Amino acid sequence: MCWACDAPSLEVAHVVARQDTAINELTARGLIDFDLKSKQNTVGLCPNCHGWFDNAMDPGFCFLPADLDFFIRFELKDRAKRRAARVNDSPDPGRKVPNARQYQRYQERVGDIEVGGTGGLYDLLYLLKNQPRVTQPRAWNGHPLASIRRAFGLLGSPRTSKIPETVLDKLLILRDLYFRDDGDRVLEKHGLTLPPPDEDNEAGDEEDNEEDEFEADDEKEEDYEERPPKRVKRVQKSTHGGGEPSRNRAIKEEDNWEFGPSSTTENVVTRYAPLILSSGSI
């Protein structure tokens, strides 16, 4: 069953496209820290959604994290750390980006989703006439930066009138933060400021709490991966949630959801089949 529109047919789509010629640049900038041949870079779509998704020049369908503010805050905090390292003549720590588990746990903590789900929430955007109209965000346990990379293509779409203005604004901020220099011009352009790199977050240092949480987590990575994504309803946010760029998290672990060097699309579909048949979704 299609993850996006519930159509009965299924194909495995790559989120970061195999023919993406910017992969080396994305990797050099620290935006791809996962295996592009792994499940972190796949989503199950019907042939229609797959075709709309793969049309890079005029995408008819795309999905992206429902909480882009989280990724903006994370990058600002990480940028502050990188700048502090340069000022102190310390080794360059390199860019860190949130992984799937961090995004999910953040949403659990602020009350966007219930604890123990299958992944963070993603908004679905259909841009053509006579397409499905999916209004509820859906859970996906792939790498969020894969979906963000794909969503950057929306900024050049001739159909931007179909995209919420706030989504376009936040995508533009993320694009500039990720791809322009570390100077102050980008920050001034978007009215942003860097937090002190050693700033404690409200309600305790969330980064330290997150690292402790990962260290105490005995759940096997494969157990997390094998949960089939499902439809998730938003729950009421807790009082410490918010949209302004203030809270960020640090990466504690590396993901490696390998299919193996000889994997094919048929292998992936075969592996997903029991989950699809038992749950009715992927």
Q: What are the sequence ranges of the domains in the chain?
A: 11-190
Cα–Cα dist 163/60, whole Å? 11
Chain segment 2-36, per-residue pLDDT in tens: 999 999 999 999 999 999 999 999 999 999 999 99
The lowest-confidence range among 79-93, 173-187, 199-213 is: 199-213
Q: What is the pLDDT of residue 238?
A: 39
Residue 93: half-sphere exposure toward Cβ, Cα within 13 Å: 18
Query: Is the pLDDT at 173 greater than 60, yes or no?
Result: yes
Prediction pTM value: 0.73
Mean pLDDT of 76-97: 91
Residue 259: predicted pLDDT:
47
Mean pLDDT across 234-245 = 42
Residue pair 230/279 in contact (Cβ under 8 Å)? The answer is yes
R_g of the chain, CA atoms, integer Å: 19
Residue 42's pLDDT is what? 98
CB 149 within 8 A of CB 178: no
The model's pLDDT over 98-133, given as tens digits with 9 standing for 90+, comes to: 999 999 999 999 999 999 999 999 999 999 988 877
By the 8 A CB rule, do 124 and 138 touch? yes
In the chain, the percentage of residues whose pLDDT exceeds 90 is: 60
Give CA–CA dist 71/47, Å, rounded: 30
pLDDT for the residue 182? 64
pLDDT of residue 74 exceeding 70? yes
In this prediction, residue 15 carries a pLDDT of: 98
Q: What is the band of 205 on the pLDDT scale with cuts at 50, 70, 90?
A: very low
Q: Residue 163: pLDDT band by 50, 70, 90 thresholds?
A: very high
| End-to-end Cα distance, the chain | 7
Beta strands in the chain (DSSP E): 11-14, 42-45, 61-65, 120-126, 138-140
Mean pLDDT of 60-82: 96
Mean pLDDT computed over every residue of the chain: 79
| Token pair belonging to 245 | 């760029």
Q: What is the pLDDT of residue 73?
A: 97
pLDDT at 142 over 80: yes
61-65/138-140 β-pairing = unpaired
More confident residue, 205 or 48: 48
Higher-confidence residue: 132 or 217? 132
pLDDT at 178: 96
CA 53 to chain centroid: 16
